[in-house]
Amino acid sequence: MDESLYHYSLSVSIPLMLFFGFHMLLARLPEKKIFSNFLLSRRLMGVALLLLAANYMVHLFYAIRFKDVIATILMNMSTYFLCYWLFGSAMMTLLDSSYITRRRFCKHIAMWVAYVAASVGVVLLPHGSQMQVVATIVLAALLVLYGVFLASRLLRTYYRAVKMFENTHSDDVEAYIRWLSVFTYWAVGYGVGCGLLTFLPNEYVFIWILSSIPFYIYLYCRYQNYFLFYEKVENALMEEIGMQESEKGDMATVAADAEAIPEYHAEISRNIENWIKHEGFCKPGLTLNELSLQLCTNRTYLSEYINSVYHKTFRDWISDMRIEYAKRIMKQNPQMKLQEVSDSSGFLSLSHFSRIFSDKEGCSPARWRKNDAD
């Protein structure tokens, strides 16, 4: 094995991870209560990065890889087990402020202690024996299953939040949290990959070290970027969760009172027609709650009406009307700048307008206007 390459990869990775870890753990945030979940999430992630950096430092200063490969692999997997929970909890905290409880914390720490105890037991087995190898593979499989379990729970929570935003907000709030799903899928692949890469022959083990660098750079940069949008997302989450709690009785009423459906549908239909006539959908930042107040109706009834009559989510319904409006004013005003078209149609940004337009029409607004002119 080229030990210089191995030590070089560790020497590059460790300073980066120490910087990321300490910055996420200690960097200050605005002294607002709303940032408490973000601060907790970032600190959990910082602890995870520092634990991984400590693991790398053991490799660098004690060269344990060259002394006992099995013991090294078990140490790595024990570190990953705890870090998986820290990573998963940090992500979940951004979507569910009540996720971390004392009971859940104690349960996962107990599972980690049991995993470490099992790893120690495997180390004490006859060195290099078939039993030790098989037991190590079993523990690796358990680690992968644990990581997949945590990731699947996070993805279910993420998609519930996305569905909620699609049914309640005209703006693409999902765009602000999409990195959570990207990171989770990458983390699953990276976690499984690390479980496999740690079994690499010594001459290739530097690949395991270097593969972590882009992963943690992405994580750090996404946290830094998400800080700019966190307050908006958290306000939306808190508002919708509160609304959903207060609407449980209304949802039951809608389901039970089937005979009243035609009556309130007719009333909502009249109000919506008038609202569309006055181009109310062009107001930026429109929400289901705001529209229900404008139409003097219950937002549960309004949501049910939109889903059952238009067969669309609230966001898709509003976006479709905005796109049709944008096409109309582009025809009427060929010289109008796309930024002005976007603003007039109610989109918060030109990039969002262009993406939604392209998804619906199959081409950019500029190309569509050019084709229409031709």
Residue 164 lies in a domain: yes
Of 182, 216, 239, which closes a domain? 239
Residue 320 lies in a domain: no
Of 239, 259, 284, which closes a domain? 239
Nearest in space to 314 (alpha carbons), one of 291, 342, 347, 348: 291
Residues 268 and 156 in one domain: no
Residue 170 lies in a domain: yes
Contact 350, 339 (CB under 8 A): yes
Residues 124 and 195 in one domain: yes
Residues 263 and 150 in one domain: no
Nearest in space to 271 (alpha carbons), one of 290, 292, 250, 286: 292
Residues 203 and 255 in one domain: no
Residue 230 DSSP class: H
CATH number at residue 66: 1.20.1070
Residue 147 lies in a domain: yes
Token digits of residue 80:
């990953």
Token digits of residue 193:
């990959």
In tens digits, what is the pLDDT along the chain, a chain of 374 residues?
Answer: 456 777 888 888 999 999 999 999 999 888 888 899 999 999 999 999 999 999 999 988 887 777 788 888 899 899 999 999 999 999 999 998 889 999 999 999 999 999 999 999 999 999 888 999 899 989 988 998 998 899 999 999 999 999 999 999 988 888 888 898 888 888 877 766 666 666 666 666 677 778 788 889 999 999 999 998 898 888 888 877 766 655 555 555 555 555 555 666 788 888 999 999 999 999 998 999 999 999 888 888 888 889 888 999 999 999 999 999 999 999 988 889 999 999 999 998 898 899 999 999 899 999 998 887 65
Go through 231-242 and write b for each residue having 16 or more CB atoms within 10 A of its CB, e for each that does not: eebbebbeebee
CATH number at residue 365: 1.10.10.60
Which residue range is the domain that position 354 belongs to?
Answer: 325-374
The H helix count followed by the E strand count for the chain is 17, 0
Residue 348 DSSP class: S
- State how far the alpha carbon of 141 is from the alpha carbons of 17, 71, 119, 195, in Å: 26, 16, 13, 9
Residues 232 and 260 in one domain: no
Residues 158 and 261 in one domain: no
Residues 227 and 254 in one domain: no
Residues 126 and 187 in one domain: yes
Residues 219 and 340 in one domain: no
- The residues with which 169 forms a beta bridge, in sequence order, are 287
Residues 202 and 256 in one domain: no
Residue 332 lies in a domain: yes
Residues 169 and 222 in one domain: yes
pTM of the shown model: 0.84
Task: Let me know the angle formed at the C-alpha of 10 by 4 and 14, rounded to the nearest 5 degrees.
Answer: 150
Contact partners, residue 144, CB within 8 Å, separation at least 6: 191, 192, 195
Residue 319 lies in a domain: no
pLDDT digits (tens, 9 = 90+) for 139-186: 988 998 998 899 999 999 999 999 999 999 988 888 888 898 888 888
Contact 330, 369 (CB under 8 A): yes
Q: What sign for the dihedral angle of Cα 78, 81, 84, 89?
A: negative
Residues 219 and 256 in one domain: no
Question: Contacts for 180-186 with beta carbons within 8 Å, 24 or more apart?
Answer: 180/91, 180/94, 180/95, 180/154, 181/155, 183/91, 183/218, 183/219, 183/222, 184/91, 184/151, 184/154, 184/155, 184/158, 185/151, 186/215, 186/218
Residue 316 lies in a domain: no
In total, how many domains does the chain have?
3
